[in-house]
Structure formats: structure tokens, C-alpha cells
Structure 1
Amino acid sequence: MSLEQSIKLAVESLGAKLYDIVTTKEHDRNIFRVLVTAEGGISLDKCAEISRMISPILDVDEPMNGEYILEVSSPGIERKLKNKDHFKASIGEKVKIKNFATEVFKGELICADNEKIVVKTEFGEDEITYDNILAAATYYEW
């Protein structure tokens, strides 16, 4: 079983869903960030509970050469969309999509299936296949 699968099982056992795992470096410190979601949102207490549950897993299967800070949080209002489930869960939200031709599509995600997404922009509806998406994220207009 991979580290990601172990973390996913632990997160699900506590009634949440694993959204993504991000490894990054901030101020010369390695960050192992576990992003989780739950029906009705994710509380700080739930993040702490998940952190306590996955810490022993990371002690056995150390990521990032063993020198890291574990962060457990929600992906937030503005979040990266990396897989089909992310897109399907974001239908009705505002998204910004960049394709490999570096065109940017900004608008409401109105459809997401196993092959493609449809974004309603100010110019009409654009169909984009997953294999043509370079980067995607939700955004919030303040």
C-alpha cells in the first residue's frame, strides 16, 4: 500500500475525504500538506484529529527525507483542480482553466464528465478535454 493510500484510508476513517497531498518548501522548511474535505466543511478540530491519525503513518513511511512540517487543512475557496473528481465536485463554481495552447478560459464550470469539462465564459460555452488542460483552479470574485 502506498503512503497516499494509507493516508486516504486514515482520512476516510474519520469521515473526511482526501482532496490532495502537496509537498512544498517555504522559508527553507519542507511542508507536507494534506488537504481534506467533508460534507458541510472541515473544522479545525477535524484537521487536528486527522493530523494525530496520520502522524504515526508518516513516522513509519517518512516523506521528504524525514524533515518536514505536517499541515492538514481544507483546500479553501480557491483551489487547484487536478483530477476528474475535483472538476465534478466543482460544477457550478467559477473556474480558470489554462490549456496547452496557453489560452485562458474563465467562467462557470457547468459540466464535467469522464472525458471533458464545459466552461460557460462571457463568449459562450467552451468544451475542454482533460488531456488539453495545463492548469485549472477555482476562483472567488471578491
Structure 2
Amino acid sequence: MSKVTEVVEELLTPIVTELELELVDIEYVKEGKNWFLRIYIDKDSGVDIEECGIVSERLSEKLDSLDPIPHNYFLEVSSPGAERPLKKEKDYQKAIGKNVHIKTYEPIDGEKIFEGALTAFDGETVTLEVKIKTRKKTVVLPFDKVASARLAVTFS
């Protein structure tokens, strides 16, 4: 985590806690000539634009007073969306029973991309039930080999 995201997380945690929201992720990235500070928040019933606005205003006030970012940037506060990333162990726990899309750092059984129902997570392994044509197969992935994971929207 970069120094900027660490400072922003410290400033943001009391705000989201007070509003009973979950801080999903913080990104601080340069795209072209511009820097973006992206905050992703959520709650069980989903967040709306008003909640995003409140978080943005409160965070902006704190950032303006402390000025931890030395150059201009765009602040964006939003929901992580339907295909929210799974970053923390609790994200995996909450996703049990849901469809997920996982990429690994290296091939496992010749594959680096897995998509299926998350059936178990114990902190060391991620267990999926993947569908291969007409049959289902259980795949167990070492958690430390997971490069990225997100919820996967599926259409029946």
C-alpha cells in the first residue's frame, strides 16, 4: 500500500465507521497526465449517490486541511459495483455461495483463470465449484497464489 493510500485510509476509517459503511478499497493511480484517488464504499443494502457525496465532502475537508497529496488529483467515491473485488479475507467469507472470477499468479492444473461458485474459504485455500461443459468439478486454489478475485455476474 502506498503512503498516500495509508494516510487516506487513516482519515477515511472514522468517516465510514460513523456512517456504518464498509471501506472496500482505495486506489491512487496515474492515468495519462492525471492522478486519481478512488474510494470504494459499500454496505449490505448497497450505497447510493448521497452516501458517496457525504463521504467525498467529509474526506475532502480532511484532505484539504492536512494536504498529504503534493499535486492535483481527482477524488472519486463510488460503489465497487456488481463485480466488486475480493481483497480481504472477510470479502471471501461473505462471497461463499456466490460466483467468483479468480486469476492466479501462476498456472494451477494448466489454468490461470477460474470462474465458479465459491464453496469454501479457510484463509489458506479457496474452494470453487466450476462447471466444465455439463459436469461440475471442485477446484482448490492456494490463497497465496490468487493474484486477483472479484464477484462474477452470471446470466442464466
TM-score greater than 0.5 by the shorter chain: yes
Pairing 1:15–2:20 present: yes
Q: CA deviation at 1:50?
A: 0.9
Q: Assess if the C-alpha contact under 8 Å between 1:7 and 1:54 holds in 2.
A: yes
User: Aligned-pair RMSD on alpha carbons?
Assistant: 1.9
| Change in CA separation of 1:113 and 1:9 when aligned onto 2, cut-off 3 Å | farther
Paired residues, what number?
141
Q: Assess if the C-alpha contact under 8 Å between 1:117 and 1:130 holds in 2.
A: yes
Distance 2:51 2:74 in 1: 18
| Change in CA separation of 1:17 and 1:61 when aligned onto 2, cut-off 3 Å | farther
Partner of 1:92: 97
Q: Which TM-score applies when normalising by structure 1?
A: 0.87
| Change in CA separation of 1:82 and 1:31 when aligned onto 2, cut-off 3 Å | same
Map residues 40-55 of structure 1 onto 2, 5 A cutoff.
40-55=45-60
Distance 2:145 2:126 in 1: 11
Distance 1:36 1:113 in 2: 25
Partner of 1:141: 154
Q: CA deviation at 1:26?
A: 3.6
Distance 2:122 2:79 in 1: 24
- Unpaired stretches in structure 2, ≥5 consecutive residues: 1-5
Q: Assess if the C-alpha contact under 8 Å between 1:19 and 1:36 holds in 2.
A: yes
Map residues 76-91 of structure 1 onto 2, 5 A cutoff.
76-91=81-96
Aligned-pair identity in percent equals 28
| Change in CA separation of 1:20 and 1:83 when aligned onto 2, cut-off 3 Å | same
Q: CA deviation at 1:53?
A: 1.3
Distance 2:51 2:151 in 1: 23
Q: Assess if the C-alpha contact under 8 Å between 2:116 and 2:128 holds in 1.
A: yes
Q: CA deviation at 1:117?
A: 1.5
Q: List structure 1 runs of 4+ shifted beyond 6 angstroms.
A: none
Pairing 1:35–2:40 present: yes
Map residues 104-115 of structure 1 onto 2, 5 A cutoff.
104-115=113-124
